[in-house]
Copies of this chain bind each other. A is one copy, B any other.
Amino acid sequence: MGFPEVPQLNPGLDAITFMPADPLPSWNEGPTKQGILAFVARVTDETSPDFLPVAERIAVHDNDGTLWPENPMPFQAAFAIDELKRRIHVEPELTGDLMVQAALAGDLQELLKGDDFAGLMRILALTHAGMTTDDFRHAVESWLTTATHPRFGRPYDALTYQPMQELLDLLRAHDFKNFIVSGGGVDFMRVWVERVYGIPNEQVVGSVARTVFELRDDGPVLTKTLDHLFVNDREGKPVAIHHHIGRRPVVCCGNSDGDHAMLQYTTIKNPRPSMGILVHHTDDEREYAYDARTTSTGKLVEALKAAPERGWLVADMKQDWNTIFPNQ
């Protein structure tokens, strides 16, 4: 069965049949939408053998490529490059730095060369460290109010995926706790996730390095460093979930092989019922089609291959989503 589209006289309830209005209107009918709705119904029905106590309703979501785009580059990289552009006005000597040149040219390949990622670390050191957490937050806030996406012309935080926002709402309405578990920096994400996704700061897990605490005359200060950098990707994701949440999730949404380990951790031999969802980037007209490329940073090859055996749902953007961004 499906949830037929009916004119919504009464938002929330269909006045004629008293069935709930479609909670996922941006999703086309099909096995993925039905799989999501059936899972949520099954685990929240107290009479079902699969009923999940509220405390166990932990949902984890990757961010880049899952809740918002990661093209033409991860948005945090766009922030870093814009920061560098701002910085060279005050520190023109930075233009002599080869890694700064690579970053300004958008040459991410160059920055990611080598086992020690020296280029990336250099850019992070210039844009993500050596400042207080308050100063960093202000820099991100200011960037979000001025920068726009090169293709879509909107502020970056207006480019979340509407179908995923509906999924977050559906889960929240059924007492799931949504966590973001992203390779993005936790300080970068916490500037806007609460406003944009309704997810509080304490439910954001990301890449992180240590800060240093000091009590100065004008109050306590935390200064960002790159020490003990933890990159929250691949096998790091279940590790960070254990560290931060301390419980196996029952819902996991991802879009790349970087999310494969947390999909495994969520769904394989979990004594609780669980659901894995892969967002598959197949729509280069409305968004991007890139994840089948094995050279892509957001490649989805291994996890997509494993999906049928594991029972993971695939959200094919072209086929399953009738809307991509909010207010389109």
Contact = CB atoms under 8 A, between A and B. Distances in A.
B239 A222 contact: yes
Given A194-B55, A220-B268, A242 B200 contact: no
A194 B246 CA distance: 11
B246 A204 contact: yes
A48 to B, nearest CB: 23
Chain A binding site: helix, strand, loop or mixed by DSSP? mixed
Contacts of A190: 246
A186 B201 CA distance: 20
Interface in A203-259: 203-204, 208, 210-213, 215, 218-220, 222, 228, 230, 235-236, 238-239, 242-247
For the complex formed by this chain, how many copies does it contain in all? 2
A151 interface: no
A238 B264 contact: no
B133 A220 contact: no
A204 B238 CA distance: 17
Nearest to A179: B202
B220 A269 contact: yes
Interface string A46-85: 0000000001001000000000000000000000000000
Which residue of A133, A203, A213 has the most chain B CB atoms within 10 A of its CB atom? A213
A158 interface: no
A239 B219 contact: no
A288 interface: no
A38 B213 CA distance: 30
A246 B186 CA distance: 8
Given A264-B220, A268-B219, A269-B219, A213 B239 contact: yes
B208 A243 contact: yes
Contacts of A222: 238-239, 242
A239 to B, nearest CB: 5
Nearest to A265: B220
Contact of A246 (B201, B210, B215, B228): B201
Interface string A272-312: 00000000000000000000000000000000000000000
Contacts of A121: none
Interface of A: 55, 58, 133, 177, 179, 186-187, 190, 194, 200-204, 208, 210-213, 215, 218-220, 222, 228, 230, 235-236, 238-239, 242-247, 261, 264-265, 268-270
18 contacts: A58-B202, A133-B242, A190-B246, A202-B245, A202-B247, A204-B246, A208-B243, A210-B243, A211-B242, A212-B239, A213-B261, A219-B268, A219-B269, A220-B264, A220-B269, A222-B239, A222-B242, A228-B228
Given A222-B238, A222-B242, 16 more contacts: A133-B242, A186-B243, A186-B246, A190-B246, A202-B244, A202-B247, A208-B243, A210-B243, A211-B239, A212-B235, A213-B239, A213-B265, A215-B264, A215-B268, A219-B268, A220-B264
